[in-house]
Amino acid sequence: MICNNNTQQSEFFLNEPANALRGKSAIIWTFVSLVFTILAWISIEVLIQIFTSYTKGSMTTTESFALCISLFFIAVYSIILLVYIYKFSIWIYYAVKEQNQFTSTELTPTKAVLLGCVIGPFIDAFIFKDLFHKQNAILENHGLKPAALPEWTFTATLVLSFLIMSTFITVIYLPGRIVLIILASMICALYIKIMKAIIENGRLMQIKRFDDLVNRKVEEILKQREIS
């Protein structure tokens, strides 16, 4: 029985905890969504130019092709955005759920997902900060070294969120759209940086939890043998 537990432990270390894999998938889709956000923005600029210069019956073959390609990229972007929201939401749901296995918090997994979907980066900055700091405290209490992450990343995410919200009123102008894309790129980079740290901390916490469960089981078996 003890050998079986050791085998399970070895298998656990050979495979990433489930939410670490979800987090890595969410990071990939964050990057993919950023790339297609830029492509969708370029497509929108192309559409603006086409319709600005369009007169009835005067669209050339090149313009028709550009129109189709632009609409295609915008449609693909819409699908990718939905996939990203799903991937990110499922990761943050289980990140909060696993966090709550170690310490009590007012933040529930469902609340984290709903607030993130409704309010977006503004509330994500607070969720990230709460998760990271509580993870650090738990790991340090168990003598484990948490992932390093500068405090300014949370402040920067919050500031960029405000800037993005305020920039939306300028999207009717080209400079405003360019600024919005730059800000979106910056906040995606911050998301990835913060997510990597939270994922690593979550991985260490789950390994620690698994170790504790295995050790507890071994102790129970040894006690049963002593009694018998």
Whether residue 173 is contained in a domain is answered as yes
Residue 183 has pLDDT above 90, yes or no: yes
Cβ-proximal residues to 199 (8 Å cutoff; 6+ apart), any chain:
19, 20, 23, 24, 27, 95
- Quick count: other Cβ atoms within 10 Å of Cβ 200? 18
Please work out, in degrees rounded to the nearest 5, the angle formed at the alpha carbon of residue 215 by the alpha carbons of 222 and 219.
20
Find the domain containing 157 and state its range: 2-28+85-227
Question: Residue 76: its pLDDT value, please?
Answer: 95
Q: Is residue 100 part of a domain?
A: yes
57-100: per-residue pLDDT in tens? 677 788 888 889 999 999 999 999 999 999 999 999 999 988 88
Give the pLDDT confidence of 112-124 residue by residue, as tens digits: 899 888 887 888 9
Q: What is the C-alpha separation between 134 and 154, in angstroms, rounded?
A: 14
The model carries a pTM of 0.82
pLDDT at 102 over 70: yes
pLDDT level of residue 1 (50, 70, 90 thresholds)? very low
Predicted local confidence at residue 10, as pLDDT: 39
Of 198, 195, 188, 197, whose CA–CA distance to 31 is shortest? Answer: 188
Q: Give the model's pLDDT for residue 8.
A: 43
pLDDT at 2 over 50: no
Residue 58 located in a structural domain: no
In a domain, 37, yes or no: no
Does a structural domain hold residue 46?
no
Lowest mean pLDDT among 42-46, 84-88, 157-161, 214-218: 214-218
Residue 59 within a domain? no
With beta carbons less than 8 A apart as the criterion, state whether 18 and 208 touch: no
Percent of the chain whose predicted confidence (pLDDT) is above 90: 40
Quick one: which of 212, 223, 228 has its CA closest to 5? 212
The count of structural domains within the chain is 1
3-state secondary structure of 143: coil
The structure tokens listed for 187 are: 């906040």
Tell whether 161 is covered by a domain. yes
Q: Could you tell me if residue 167 is inside a domain?
A: yes
